[in-house]
Structure 1
């Protein structure tokens, strides 16, 4: 089912743009709540420490940086695609990276800009698609694509665009949701219907991508996968943690440009 699903999405998508207008509209409607830890983005606030653990470790390893240093990512240019309100862009800026945050949902940008200003951070936020940045010849050491590929119209085109945005030896970090019965129960039934952490319809299970499919998309784009980890929620401790084995629902991969 996976290959045919991805092929169908590619056929329907505009080859010059991976944006899905219906997906953008969902996040436009929630823009004002990005920094409310108990609002509609509560799941991302809960997940963020786990995501940051994975991101910072992979960047430090790839670029030989000491995370104990005051600004370990100084000199690295980083792009956060689908930056939302800046939940990842701000910690990356605090770690010293030069950060560009891009989002197709226009209402997210002023929210992110205001919060960065209030936090004393300089972040270059832009209302644009990844394809716009690629067309203008932008280049980055690191590209973050966290919880976004399951919302684009053309996953392969999206990863191809990321590849073009990376400098040789640059690092892509991508997280998404696996597609299987468990992920349907957890991410759709559990998160949207039972716990009501997210508005109903935030995710479409058919758009979820298996780890093997994401690896194939990555290799097809001339990127070399170097790592993948699950992000697992423990209902007893009410915390997320990284797992080398459990990729059954949320997971992330790292890949390097050849």
Structure 2
């Protein structure tokens, strides 16, 4: 059970070994916590990007678990964990698909903002200030696990991916969203989005931490994950609209299934 309708804003202290948290990254996003739900705030570009991403996931996730996306609550009876949920801009809309949904984040301020927004929207979603290794130590598992725009910010990519992998039940689905380490992503996501256009706060990303799809596949293979699809999340420069499709040269989603 994923603590539905409860907020637990306290770190579990059960994980062993060094943390996967990068304190500098957590401090940066904690300072911006109040900006997440502001359409014209520091993350205004993220809202349009997020709308395309959430729409895609709301269609694909039910299909991948054998459910009808057109049903009233297509994921009822299942459990979702959103690792690195931020202020809940993905967690909250996905919770409306009917799954028992938990968002966790290493920033306590993010969790408090997410929980406050969920209460005001009457969203049935729970949040915890916790790391994936904490949930693994507690024996938590879910049918669907997501970690979106997180892996490029962690201190130890291999350990983090391993902990997230352990949260997925056999036969379950894992969704990872991140940025590809290419020349195109350096130009678009760093120079363009942060320094020229100012769509994101400067220093939001470190290009050296971007992750190639093949690197994620290699990290997940020992945990018996099979890749299902890799799709780009692209901005059309003519219409200024985000869409799913094309070559994953910058932002992309990877979806995996854990083998029984």
**TM-score, reference length from structure 2:** 0.90
Q: Which runs of 5+ in 1 are unaligned?
A: 1-13
Structure 2 matches for 1:61-72, cutoff 5 A?
A: 61-72=63-74
Quote the Cα distance in structure 1 between the aligned partners of 2:112 and 2:160: 25
Q: Secondary structure, in 3 states, of the residue corresponding to 2:68? A: coil
Distance 1:33 1:147 in 2: 16
| Aligned counterpart in structure 2 of residue 179 of structure 1, from 175, 178, 181 | 181
> For the aligned residues, what is the CA RMSD?
1.3
Give the secondary structure class of the aligned counterpart of 2:170: strand
Alpha-carbon separation, structure 2, partners of 1:75 and 1:44: 30
- Structure 2 counterpart of 1:38, from 31, 37, 40: 40
Query: Residue 252 of structure 1 corresponds to which residue in structure 2?
Result: 253
For each residue in 1:5-33, what CA deviation from the matched residue of structure 2 results, as whole angstroms up to 9, or x when unmatched? xxxxxxxxx95421111111110010011
CA distance in 1, matches of 2:218, 2:60: 20
Residue 249 and residue 107 in structure 1: after superposition, are their counterparts in 2 closer, same or farther (change >3 A)? same
Is 1:125 aligned with 2:127? yes
SS in 2 for 1:107: helix
| Residue matched to 1:144 | 146
- Determine if contact 2:85/2:103 at 8 Å carries over to the other structure: yes
Aligned to 2:80, which of 74, 78, 81? 78
Which deviates more, 219-228 or 233-242?
Answer: 219-228
* TM superposition shift of 1:58: 3.1
CA distance in 1 between partners of 2:18 and 2:67 (Å): 36
Which residue pairs with 1:209 in the alignment? Answer: 211
Q: How far apart are the structure 2 equivalents of 1:143 and 1:164?
A: 10
Given candidates 188, 192, 195, the residue that maps to 2:194 is: 192
Structure 2 regions of 5+ residues with no counterpart?
A: 1-15
Aligned counterpart, 1:7: none
Per the alignment, residue 162 of structure 1 pairs with 164
SS of equivalent to 1:145:
strand
Alignment match, 2:136: 134
Q: Distance in 2 between matches of 1:105 and 1:64?
A: 34
Calculate the TM-score normalised by the size of structure 1: 0.91
CA positional deviation for 1:221 = 3.0
Cα deviation digits, residues 136-164 of structure 1 (max 9, x gap): 10010000111100011111211211121
- Aligned partner of residue 239 in structure 2, secondary structure: coil
